[in-house]
A and B are shown apart, each in its own frame.
Chain A
Amino acid sequence: MSVSTLGAPVRAETNPESPPTAKKRRRLPDLRRWISPLAIVALWQIACGTGFLPPDKLSSPWTVLQSGIELTRSGELGDAFVVSTTRVGIGFVIGGAIGLVLGIVAGLSRWGNFLVDPPVQMLRTLPFLGLIPLFILWFGIGEEPKIALVALGVAFPLYLNVHSGIHNVDSHLIEAATALGFTRTERLFHVVLPAALPNTLVGLRQSLGIAWLSLIVGEQVNASSGLGYLINNAREFLRTDVIVVGLVVYAALGLATDAIVRLVERRALQWRS
């Protein structure tokens, strides 16, 4: 018993000490976490060097790095990068606009909710990547099906989050704004939409993740340019190094867009911290 009564205050006293150290650790990432990833890369390199992993199955990290530099120098990677980013960009703008507008309409108006929500909820359950055959029939094999796939993937998460964000606005705040003489439009812009912003940004992050995924899948189908084409073309020639370079660029693009949204979040949602 005496131990536990002594133990509690000691713990309480050490607790305030721990946050600063935790903060320090976050600023300087713990190097120990790098041991195993570096070991894996080293093992990968050794496995390739000894012939355990033949280059037609997987090229060594060193070769991948060299091909990366090579592809960048020749401009092939840059061109593919531009093509793929443009596809995501256009698809994202179209799908984002659709999701945003439908979400606002369904969130704000009762009839909008009755008319818009059911079909969207039904379509949402479709595995949209499975629509590729239909899209090829509708749009051919050019840019359109790829952009359409991205737009479709983007629209749903944004719609759902905007819709629920508007739906869950604190009615007390709206009442207070009304009492302060706000018109309907003023309430929309000063209360409803800012209140829905956190959810909207969550939707945006999900949307961007899905946008890249849709692009990758879309580019596996009959692409004659872009990162997907680069990868598929490399497969024909057993160039596993180029395939890995393509994958790394995909990953980097995904991480970069996510980081941008997080930056926007941090700036726009300052008031929440």
Chain B
Amino acid sequence: MAELTVEVRGLTKRFGERTVLHGLDLDIAPGEFVALLGRSGSGKSTLLKVLAGLDTAVTGKATVDGQVSVAFQQPRLLPWRRVWRNVVLGLHPVRGRDVALKALDEVRLADHADAWPRTLSGGEAQRVSLARALVREPGLLLLDEPFGALDALTRLAMHRLVEDLWQRHRPSVLLVTHDVDEALLLADRVLVLDEGRISAEYVLGHPRPRTVTDDRTAVDFNRVRTKVLGDLGVTERATA
């Protein structure tokens, strides 16, 4: 196994006059869960597209060891394919229903295998999207705000599910999110992206599963949260 799943050196991306990524460096170790926070326009999506191989018009070096899978904010299922066919979409050569069913079972949707994507709820569709990403046994799983469009309760359940799947399959994960608490709950390492560079890094070695309200971690989490929010240009009220 390579020493690093992701190795990015001096990555620069320009859109005309505007420089979105500014000589960015990033390492992700095998099996590491990294959360990437940043304001809108900080270059998060661009970095993700580069890592996903969707944007190759860049300078610098970006290598990924192994298969890359993406789960987007919207599930992006093909509406004219039944759920199980959507799951095996990214397998080349195409493989059968049993593979799909196994993957769907992991996201507890095996009984929806023959449903049309339109009939699923937002959370269910997002779980299918996760199954589709994981069935490829990726070395790197890119999560582009995959919980952003879900309601609060569904989001909590999804956090648990993602952590669970990550521990079972052990891909490296890069989670792009706006939600600081989500990053604190899930990540081994939290990165803040600002003006096209990694501007801050926090390593979280807390035992899992974590909760924000856990007494042992609450003080620590509050400290990191305040710092991260500061990095993002938000100052918390003292009374909050």
Contact = CB atoms under 8 A, between A and B. Distances in A.
A194 B70 contact: no
Contacts of A176: 70, 72, 76
B118 A272 contact: yes
B54 interface: yes
A272 B79 CA distance: 8
Given A172-B74, A173-B78, A194-B78, A179 B54 contact: yes
Interface residues of B, number: 22
A175 to B, nearest CB: 6
Contact of B52 (A172, A173, A179): A179
B15 interface: no
A178 B116 contact: no
Interface of A (DSSP majority class): helix
Interface residues of A, number: 17
A234 to B, nearest CB: 49
A266 interface: no
Contact of A271 (B52, B68, B72, B118): B118
Nearest to B82: A271
Contacts of A194: 78, 80
Nearest to A268: B80
A177 B117 CA distance: 16
A173 B136 CA distance: 18
A178 B118 contact: no
A235 interface: no
B41 interface: no
A191 interface: yes
A270 interface: yes
Contact of A180 (B74, B81, B89): B89
Interface string B71-113: 0101010111110000001101000000000000000000000
A180 B90 contact: yes
Contact of B90 (A173, A181, A197, A270): A181
Nearest to B67: A181
A271 B80 contact: yes
A31 to B, nearest CB: 36
B66 interface: no
B148 interface: no
A191 B78 CA distance: 7
B60 interface: no
B53 interface: yes
Contacts of B80: 194-195, 197, 271
A5 B90 CA distance: 54
6 contacts: A172-B72, A178-B54, A180-B69, A180-B132, A180-B136, A271-B118
Interface of A: 172-173, 175-181, 190-191, 194-195, 197, 270-272
Given A173-B76, A190-B78, A271-B116, 7 more contacts: A172-B74, A173-B78, A179-B70, A180-B69, A271-B81, A271-B117, A271-B118
Interface of B: 52-54, 68-70, 72, 74, 76, 78-82, 89-90, 92, 116-118, 132, 136
For the complex of A and B, 6 pairs with smallest distance between CB atoms = A180-B90, A176-B76, A271-B116, A179-B70, A194-B80, A271-B80
